[in-house]
Amino acid sequence: MDRLTLPFDALTEMGESSVPASQLGRRERKKKAVRDTIRKETLRLIGRHGVEGLTIDAICDCVDIAKKTFYNYYATKHDLMVELCQAELLQRTDQLIDEVLDSGKSLEQQLSHIVEVFINREQLAGGVERELIAYSVGTMSANISQGASQLAFINSSFLRLYERNSKDLKPGLSPVFCAEMTVGMFNAITLNWVHDEDYDSETRYRELLAFILSSMLA
């Protein structure tokens, strides 16, 4: 599956926002600057008030724009939150997969590195990141279409990992199956971590790594 063809409503806009400013026209640079400021101030407000305390009025006050201008970029607060979750969480995971694939290491070492990153992420996660993760998890359960899109995106990232290392999988196991099972188990740990501050996610991730290595790798 080509990750660029996945049905993410905001994926195109995210791609545009990552284009170097020098390659954009004057109007596009101005729009990008406003969008970047909206996202930056929204993250700051989430850190202070949480997602529940976040309002469009507060965002507009911080960015110094009219509400009408905000709605030129986002139809709702939810649309803005979805974009932030995609940029701050999903895209980072996709980049992590790219990094391990470029490392030249074995699949076992790549998986071990991914697990360590997830462990460190949750141990060091501040209020903003936890809020974004919780919102992303909530979106997956509350909105079937957007949840399916998020899941498809993460599945495609791990599919690339297993496809590139298919020779290291046990006979009879497809990269698609391994990707879907891995993502499902990662999501289960994340869900428990979001809802239970005392949840020992580090132990679960290490147990999960041992399970994947023994059950999926040749």
Q: Cβ neighbours of residue 201 under 8 Å, at least 6 residues apart?
A: 119, 122, 189, 190, 192, 193
| C-alpha closest to that of 90 among 200, 190, 162 | 190
Question: What is the C-alpha to C-alpha distance for residues 35 and 171, in angstroms, rounded to an integer?
Answer: 48
Question: What is the C-alpha to C-alpha distance for residues 99 and 210, in angstroms, rounded to an integer?
Answer: 22
Q: Cβ neighbours of residue 56 under 8 Å, at least 6 residues apart?
A: 67, 70, 77
List pLDDT tens digits, range 106-163.
999 999 999 999 998 877 766 788 888 888 877 766 666 766 777 888 999 999 999 9
Q: How does residue 85 score in pLDDT terms, banded at 50, 70 and 90?
A: confident
Which residues make beta-bridge pairs with 64? Answer: none
List pLDDT tens digits, range 20-53.
556 667 888 889 999 999 999 999 999 889 999 9
The reply to whether domains 3-73 and 77-215 share a CATH topology is no
Tokens describing residue 163: 């496809």
CATH topology of domain 3-73: Arc Repressor Mutant, subunit A (1.10.10)
Q: How many CA atoms lie within 13 A of 57 on its CB side?
A: 1
* Top-level class of domain 77-215: mainly alpha
Domain coordinates in residue numbering, the chain: 3-73, 77-215
Tokens describing residue 85: 């979750």
For 52, phi then psi, to 5°, come to -60, -35
